[in-house]
Structure 1
Amino acid sequence: MESSSRASPPTDRVVRILDFLAAHPAERFGVSELARRLGLSKPTCLGIVTALADAGYLVRDAGDKTYRLGPSLITLGHKAQESMRVSPAVREQLRRLSDRFGATAALSGVIDDRITLLDLVAPAGARPGVEVGQSYPFAPPVGLMFVLWDDEAKRNWLAKEPTLPLRTETGRLNRVIGRCRDDGYLVERLTPGGRRLYALMAGMTSDLPDELRALLGELVSDIGERVYLREDNSHGRKRHDISVISAPVYDHDRRQVMVASIHIGKSLTDSEIVDRARALVTTADAVTTQLGGVKPSWQT
């Protein structure tokens, strides 16, 4: 972590204005209200929004002298997606998967040691609850899907300071890893704790207050606890509450670089789970090919 002495207060003020407007995309704000909401002086705020408007990052309404996000941010966003290797062809793969099952399909990667949502396609009218650019700390228990298929990555991930107090049942985790490698995908069960975990973790750093760490620790107690394994169905349940299914995307060095996911959020039968998982693996393989990647021989 960089020293706070190297921070740039002027830059921070620019970021605060852009973040605030991004959080209110359907609204417009005058200089006085922006300054008041963000705790800035009016002259400082005016100087910043004027410069941003001149560059096209904001649009100024000449009538009521209010500001909103501008078209230059669209170009910037597209360039950011390109730099993260999210192309229109990749998005089309997500769209097909989403259309087939009426579910949200997404692509995520680890950027600057944080899991970041790179692209997302949701059914018409759906509210997925997550947004492109949203990120989470990449440390146990968050991020299992990024290390299941790489022993070195798994060791490095497990060695990280966990974001939550937890225990690791080695036998269970090894069984999860073996099953997921055989199947080529990971299925996470939908639990009350898991449902709340990612909402609480979104945007947070790894440095959580002790009280919050303890609270979150009640939600997840073991890394592999929420993973669905068919052999666990000893009670003969016909349906299972499923949260998300994930599959790996590889680069030209056969290393996992992304995760393709389909968000379920409902009960499925075993055959419905397998049907969606196999379609997801097909999508992940297509993305791998479009990125010029190669699937490891033991995964083919």
Structure 2
Amino acid sequence: MPSTARRVSPPTDRVVAILDFLSARPTERFGVSELARRVGLSKPTCLGIITSLVEACYLVRDSADKTYRLGPSLITLGHRAQEAMRVSPAARDELRRLSTRFGVTAALSAVVDDRITVLDLVSPPGAHPGVEVGQSYPFAPPVGLMFVLWDDLAAQAWLAKEPTIPLRTDTRRLHRVITACRADGYLVERQTPAGRRLYSLMAGMSATLPDELRALLGELVSDIGERVSLREDRQANTRHDISVISAPVFDQHQRQAMVASMHIGTALTERDIAERARAVVATADAVTAQLGGVRPRL
């Protein structure tokens, strides 16, 4: 018998299609005809859906030009979703302090339904961080190392997953990465063109990728942890291209619940990296305390 979890509802899919389309264009407004055409629905079907969404305040209708845009009920819904993911206003304040201090994007992310999902982020005014709240990625090698570094069982389970792309694993290198990051309390990733393309291509995709795309990604990243920049490998008087610095957030069971990250994307000295890493760890520890969490003794 087919699993009920695999059943879909075409009427619901139509509602989701409209909301997804508009959420991808938050500053734009659309009339019924154009909206129906863009999402592939008949005009009467589209009109019926958006009329209900307007009544529930999920959409707003401009009476002057008869166009539609996202409505205020989605704000409440978004806040409730963040609360469900344990992202509180106090956690956002921590991100804001980190972002303001260094002029970077600061984010919280977690593994939700076996996908890495951005829960919240704060960017400097006018910045284009390249990631958005709600954006998700497959949680399978090579993506997701920062979510399992501090938990042996989680790391083993993650490594046992079928990788999203063809990989080789340098066991000695991976062990060295895990040991060094645990000792430091944070993870530093190098900025590479391959890494940027990898996350751009994988955003929103399922873990089962087309063979052609798997082959392409395999040319970009072929070893787990190869983008990790270890302190012992960095020269003190050299600037290093850094993508992200991340630190773990723990729950009351001493399990990793989230990751706090600073998105950098520029060259830093070792002193700069250390300063920012301490700030990211402090942010992660503050969010851990807000959750009533406990950092494990590793």
What TM bracket, shorter-length normalisation?
A: over 0.9
Q: Is the 8 A contact 2:190 2:243 kept in 1?
A: yes
How many residues are paired up? Answer: 297
SS in 2 for 1:188: strand
Q: Distance in 2 between matches of 1:2 and 1:69?
A: 34
What whole-Å deviation, never above 9, does each CA across 1:124-178 have from its counterpart, x for those lacking one?
Answer: 1211011000000000000000000000000000000101111110000000000
The 1:252/1:55 distance shift into structure 2, 3 A limit, reads same
**Residue type of the alignment partner of 2:185:** G
What whole-Å deviation, never above 9, does each CA across 1:219-247 have from its counterpart, x for those lacking one?
Answer: 1111111110122247x761111100000
SS in 1 for 2:220: coil
1:160 equivalent to 2:161? Answer yes
Q: Distance in 1 between matches of 2:151 and 2:107?
A: 21
The 1:264/1:43 distance shift into structure 2, 3 A limit, reads same
Matches within 5 A, 1:143-182: 143-182=144-183
Q: Distance in 1 between matches of 2:137 and 2:82?
A: 18
TM-score (norm 1): 0.96
1:192 equivalent to 2:196? Answer no
1:293 aligns to what? 293
**Residue type of the alignment partner of 2:37:** R
- Deviation, 1:196, is 1.1
The 1:2/1:63 distance shift into structure 2, 3 A limit, reads farther
SS in 1 for 2:117: strand
1:220 aligns to what? 221
Q: Distance in 2 between matches of 1:102 and 1:114?
A: 28
- Deviation, 1:34, is 1.1
**Residue type of the alignment partner of 2:257:** V
**Residue type of the alignment partner of 2:201:** L
SS in 2 for 1:178: helix
**Residue type of the alignment partner of 1:295:** R
Q: Distance in 2 between matches of 1:2 and 1:139?
A: 24
Matches within 5 A, 1:28-47: 28-47=29-48
CA RMSD after TM alignment: 1.5
2:283 aligns to what? 283
The 1:28/1:233 distance shift into structure 2, 3 A limit, reads closer
What whole-Å deviation, never above 9, does each CA across 1:55-74 have from its counterpart, x for those lacking one?
Answer: 11111112222111111111
SS in 2 for 1:196: helix
1:240 aligns to what? 240
Q: Distance in 1 between matches of 2:65 and 2:228?
A: 54
1:90 aligns to what? 91
The 1:206/1:3 distance shift into structure 2, 3 A limit, reads farther
- Deviation, 1:2, is 6.0
SS in 1 for 2:120: strand
Q: Distance in 2 between matches of 1:230 and 1:21?
A: 44
1:112 aligns to what? 113
**Residue type of the alignment partner of 1:154:** A
2:26 aligns to what? 25
- Deviation, 1:14, is 0.3
- Deviation, 1:113, is 0.3
SS in 2 for 1:29: coil
- Deviation, 1:20, is 0.7
Q: Unpaired segments of 5 or more residues in structure 1?
A: none
Q: Distance in 1 between matches of 2:258 and 2:3?
A: 27
SS in 2 for 1:120: strand
